[in-house]
Each structure stands twice: as structure tokens, then as C-alpha cells.
Amino acid sequence: MSSRKTTAIALSALSLGALVLGAPVAWAQPAPSTPPSTAPAPTTATATIDVMNKLWGRHPDLRANHARGVVVVGSFTPTPEAAGLSTASIFTGKPVPVTVRFSDATGLPNLSDGADAANPHGMAIRFQPEGGTYVDVVLNSLPYFPVATGEEFLQLLTAASESGPDAPKPTKVEQFVAAHPAAAKAGAGVRTPSSFVRETYNGIDAFIFVNAQGQRQPFRFQFQPVAGGDYVSKEDAAKLPPDFLLDELPARLKTSKAEYRVMAQLANPGDPTKDPTQPWPDDRRMVNLGTLTLTGAVADETKAQHDLRFLPNHLTPGIELSDDPLIDARVRSYVISFGRRG
């Protein structure tokens, strides 16, 4: 594979395809000469959001990543099998109301839905059981993540920000990808779906189910569209209206529902849970946890976009964190992004 192609795939995996596709990205400028600072170094999370803001601009009210999105509502009906795996209140049997935000990757506010850089698309679900704590599940369309930790993700974003069209070869990002094989492969298969609800979304990070007997079972979420996956070629995607995905979903839900099978891939004993770059083998058991049915647009889209602050560690008894360090890295970065969007 040519180094240009490898780089393009790695960047697309990271929602950074914009860098090689000529989207309006703020390139790194030479640092002005300033006296050494005595301020403490920013945390990894703050530095990560700083680089995202440098790459995609800082836009009041918008998320640092996955800035463009659409919010819809529906419900989740669990299977009896789910209750055998976990005591979580969302699996007790009754339908649970949900709010779901689908999104394009990057923090670019004017990105076209069909652009390569809009991959991987995101799906964030808030389960709101009556009288119980809400549970957030935050997914995207990658099969696994390009890097294993928040520190590596910062290194990759930083390398990308220093790899503009005039950067000497091999660019910083090419060097990073050469040293991190998963970075080139993670996004190789991502494609533009014909609808947000014709795409499969993956949890990537491992979590732990705990059942009534106290048994602990590591798993990863996968949300599968009941209607099946359906994708648009790169050439056709480039010709579609910029908001074709954002507009299509609320219009579709006026006349029909959209369903997802909510699946969990169960780890075998010994499968690693702390490395989101390592998918588990395909033969691992998949359990159907229930059906997510989307029924319509949210009542106040602007308010919902603003108020929703999904956190992948907002769980409930019966679902616990694993030792995957990326979850904490995500949470810390999301909180910085929340603070900047007010």
C-alpha cells in the first residue's frame, strides 16, 4: 500500500480525513518566540481538545468532535437473555425510553455528510428507565480504535496537525502510522451509509456485565440495523446534498420506524479487555440484548443538541467499567469539550 493511501486510511479512521482532503483546516503555524512558560503543562485531555480545536476550529456551542448531528427518540425493549447477563435496570423487561444522537465525525461545522472526513459516523444513546438512573452508550462505525490510550490519541492528533500539505516527507503522521499498525487498519473499511439507520455502530471499549449471581462477563456493544447495512459509493456520496444524512432521518421517521438489534459480543476467558485496538475473534458469542426502535424527531432539536452530554462511563449497577484505559481518556476529554461549549 502506498504511504499516501496508508495515511489517508489512518486519518479517516480518526475522523481526520479532512486533513488530506483539503477541508478547511487550521494548519499548525510556527510558534512565535515567547519566554518559557511557568504554567503547568496541560493535561492530556486539555491538550487533546486544544489540538482538535486547532485542526477543526473552535466553535461556540459545538462539540469539539462529532459536531454535526441529529437527535431522535424511541424506546428499547430488552430480551429475557439480557436480564440473565446483567442486573441493569434497562434490562428488567419494560420498554425503556431512549434519546439518540447520530453524528458526523470531526469538529467541522460545515462538513458535508458524504465527505470521507465525516466517517466514522457516531451513535450515542441515552437509556432513560422510569425512576432509574440513565445509562449512556457511545458508539461509532469503526470496528476497533486506531490507538489504545488517550496519550497515543493525542500523539496522533498532534502528528496530524503537523502534517499539512507542505510538511516534509515522511510526515509526522506517516511516521506515527508506521509505528502503530492498528492506526492504518482501523478505518480501512469505513464507508458512507445511505442513512444513519443503515449503519452498524460498535462500542469498541469493553465493559463488564454483572448478573444476579455476581458473575462478571466482559462484553462489547454492537448495534446492528435490522434493515441491514446500506452504503453509498465515494463518487455518489460526493454528489449528495451536504445535509443528506441529517435531513433524511427525521423525514424517514415521519412515515416509518427504524429498528436496531442491540447485541453484545461476549469475551472468552483470557480475551484482553484493555486494548481497544484488538477486536475479539469473530467466533465469540453474540447475544441479542433487545430491540431499539426509533420513532421520531426530538421535540426541541436545538435544546437537545445543547443539553445532551453523553459520557461513556455513565452506567448503572449491573454494567461496570473494564480496565480499558481509553474509557477514562474519553471521559476526561468529553468533559473539557462540555466546558468549552457552555
Nearest approach in angstroms of CB 190 to ligand HEM is: 12
Q: Which of 145, 196, 209, 219 binds ligand HEM (CB under 6 A)?
A: 145
Q: Which residues have a Cβ under 8 Å from the Cβ of 142 and sit 6 or more positions away?
A: 13, 120, 186, 187, 190, 202, 204
Q: Which residues have a Cβ under 8 Å from the Cβ of 194 and sit 6 or more positions away?
A: 230, 231, 232
- Residue among 83 and 225 whose Cβ is closer to ligand HEM: 225
d(CA 197, CA 241): 18
Q: Is 48 in the site for ligand HEM (CB under 6 A)?
A: yes
Q: Is 329 in the site for ligand HEM (CB under 6 A)?
A: yes
Q: Is 274 in the site for ligand HEM (CB under 6 A)?
A: no
Q: Is 204 in the site for ligand HEM (CB under 6 A)?
A: yes
- Residue among 76 and 207 whose Cβ is closer to ligand HEM: 207
d(CA 169, CA 165): 10
- Residue among 167 and 308 whose Cβ is closer to ligand HEM: 308
Nearest approach in angstroms of CB 154 to ligand HEM is: 8
Q: Which of 18, 23, 63, 73 binds ligand HEM (CB under 6 A)?
A: 63
CB-count exposure of residue 133 (10 Å: 0-12, 13-18, 19+): middle
Candidates 175-183, 253-261, 264-272, 326-334: pick the segment binding ligand HEM (CB under 6 A): 326-334
- Residue among 194 and 222 whose Cβ is closer to ligand HEM: 222
- Give Cα 253 to chain centroid, integer Å: 23
CA–CA distance from 242 to each of 46, 59, 290 (Å)?
31, 19, 33
Q: Is 135 in the site for ligand HEM (CB under 6 A)?
A: no
- Residue among 90 and 137 whose Cβ is closer to ligand HEM: 137
Q: Is 122 in the site for ligand HEM (CB under 6 A)?
A: yes
- Residue among 9 and 124 whose Cβ is closer to ligand HEM: 124
Nearest approach in angstroms of CB 17 to ligand HEM is: 16
Q: Are 131 and 94 in contact (CB under 8 A)?
A: no
Q: Is 341 in the site for ligand HEM (CB under 6 A)?
A: yes
Give alpha helix (H) positions in the chain.
3-13, 18-21, 44-56, 80-85, 150-161, 172-179, 181-185, 234-239, 244-255, 301-307, 325-341
Q: Is 103 in the site for ligand HEM (CB under 6 A)?
A: yes
CB-count exposure of residue 300 (10 Å: 0-12, 13-18, 19+): exposed
Q: Sketch the per residue contact string, 68 through 87, with ligand HEM: x for CB under 6 A, - otherwise.
A: -x------------------
DSSP 120-150: SPEEEEEE--TTS--EEEEEES-SS-S-SSH
d(CA 203, CA 220): 6
| Residue whose Cβ sits closest to ligand HEM | 122
Q: Is 139 in the site for ligand HEM (CB under 6 A)?
A: yes
Question: Judged by CB under 6 A, how many residues of this single chain contact ligand HEM?
Answer: 30
d(CA 229, CA 245): 14
Nearest approach in angstroms of CB 48 to ligand HEM is: 5
* E strand spans, 198-276: 201-202, 207-210, 216-225, 231-232, 258-266
Nearest approach in angstroms of CB 46 to ligand HEM is: 11
The binding site for ligand HEM (CB under 6 A) comprises 48-49, 63-66, 69, 101, 103, 122, 124, 138-140, 145, 150, 153, 203-204, 308-310, 326, 329-330, 333-334, 337-338, 341
